[in-house]
A and B are shown apart, each in its own frame.
Chain A
């Protein structure tokens, strides 16, 4: 028997509201398959299963608010008999004390729960804004049946509202907790960011180092590279900067990982949390997975996809919980420097300012040089300024050999 629990989706999330099940009892679940959509204080997140199995019971009903760690469903392990698993599942074992009593009642849901049949075989991924998803949930609209008119076919709030108006008799949503209205959502996100950042500043002794990195070679290489590429395949400087951070981390494991239970746990993977600002305010930093191993073309495609899905409200739980370090890049509309606040339980954050032309002395001559200021905010419990400075020097050197980053 497998208890499928609500995973932690970041330091600023301690509860979520189940919006929708993507499976129903009897369905086979593969590792990595999206089985539920959970609304957090920041976004609606596709929650994936980390194990294979067969869905035996859906414990929590859509609309219920549940704490991180609560059992959402029971899966049978491959080959396991249903009766054995169910008899071993008492409500007390299935639900933590903090879970609402109503959640256990949902275990008595019939074999065909109030979800569309199509949900049993999830259709190809559609981009749906969090507001649209919530509105659909509130009005019992099948989101899969709504025609999206947003960017790249994304389903917008307007689309759902139109579908709701067109519906003759919308089904009542089985909600125990009403999802927040947009204004409340922004307030919730602000609150979540405040909680995580206050915790960071309270618990993590930050230190900061910065380095101005010349980018003439990197930008010249990018320009030549992009001249050979189609518009859709062009690389942004951000791709180069992210790859350089991921590669540099290999020599500085004390900056890449988590500080939990009083100790640092280094990560062998370089999953970069990319800080993405949302148009309605606030930010999310989902993971660009295995950034150190991807060629730049792949990294750029993944970055584009991540930003698109982040803004459309279609992130996966693994992307929310995976980041081992955060990178914030102010880009060409930002200021020249940024010093970030570490996202716990991570232990470091790398910041990039705007690329600007600076007066640059080289070989006794003064010239204009495009440059970026890279900063490192790091946890003094785990590393020292000397190592942090060496990391930025490594970053600087890597960016002088851009062609080597394209591997």
Chain B
């Protein structure tokens, strides 16, 4: 899967949880949860959605690495092995 495809999946998953998200206004290099109001449950559901769609296991120990959308995409890209 290409980076653009993974980013699209991540954005779609995000929008399923926070429909008010405007993709154009989202900065990939800024902390995601500072830009989108995601509580702990939303965040867990976001990661769970990515896990279900991409079949990627995300250990809890890795949560701290996932700060920005770019972080998330890079992490998933590495995990999907492409």
Contacts and interface: CB of A to CB of B under 8 A. Distances in A.
Nearest to B40: A331
B60 A307 contact: no
Contact of B40 (A151, A226, A332): A332
Contacts of B16: 150-151
A304 B60 CA distance: 18
A307 B38 contact: no
Contact of B38 (A236, A237, A333): A333
A394 B18 CA distance: 37
Interface in A204-234: 223, 226-227, 231-232, 234
A232 B59 contact: no
A238 interface: yes
Contacts of A150: 16, 19
B11 interface: no
Interface string B40-57: 110011011001000001
Given A150-B16, A279-B19, A234 B38 contact: no
Q: Is the interface of A mostly helix, strand, loop or mixed?
A: helix
A237 B40 CA distance: 9
B33 interface: yes
B58 interface: yes
Contact of A236 (B17, B37, B40): B40
Q: Is the interface of B mostly helix, strand, loop or mixed?
A: helix
B25 interface: no
Chain A's interface size range is 20 to 34
Contact of B48 (A156, A226, A227, A231): A231
Nearest to B33: A333
A97 B24 CA distance: 55
A150 B17 CA distance: 9
B39 interface: yes
Contacts of B41: 236, 238, 303-304, 307
A227 B60 contact: yes
Nearest to A238: B40
Contacts of B44: 234, 236
Which of B20, B33, B40, B61 has the most A CB atoms < 10 Å from its CB?
Answer: B40
A337 to B, nearest CB: 17
Given A226-B60, A231-B58, A234-B60, A279 B48 contact: no
B48 to A, nearest CB: 5
A186 interface: no
A279 B40 CA distance: 14
Interface string A246-289: 00000000000000000000000000000001010000000000
Interface in B5-31: 16-20
A231 B39 contact: no
Given A227-B59, A307-B41, A333-B39, A279 B18 contact: yes
A156 B17 CA distance: 12
A333 B48 contact: no
Which of B37, B41, B48, B58 has the most A CB atoms < 10 Å from its CB?
Answer: B41
A231 B40 contact: no
Contacts of B19: 150, 156, 279
Nearest to A331: B40
Which of A223, A231, A277 has the most B CB atoms < 10 Å from its CB?
Answer: A231
A151 B17 contact: yes
A88 B41 CA distance: 51
A279 B37 contact: yes
Interface string A123-157: 00000000000000000000000000011000010
B18 A231 contact: no
20 contacts: A150-B16, A151-B17, A151-B45, A156-B19, A223-B60, A223-B61, A227-B59, A227-B60, A232-B48, A234-B44, A237-B40, A279-B18, A279-B19, A279-B20, A279-B37, A303-B41, A304-B41, A331-B39, A331-B40, A332-B40
Interface of A: 150-151, 156, 223, 226-227, 231-232, 234, 236-238, 277, 279, 303-304, 307, 331-333
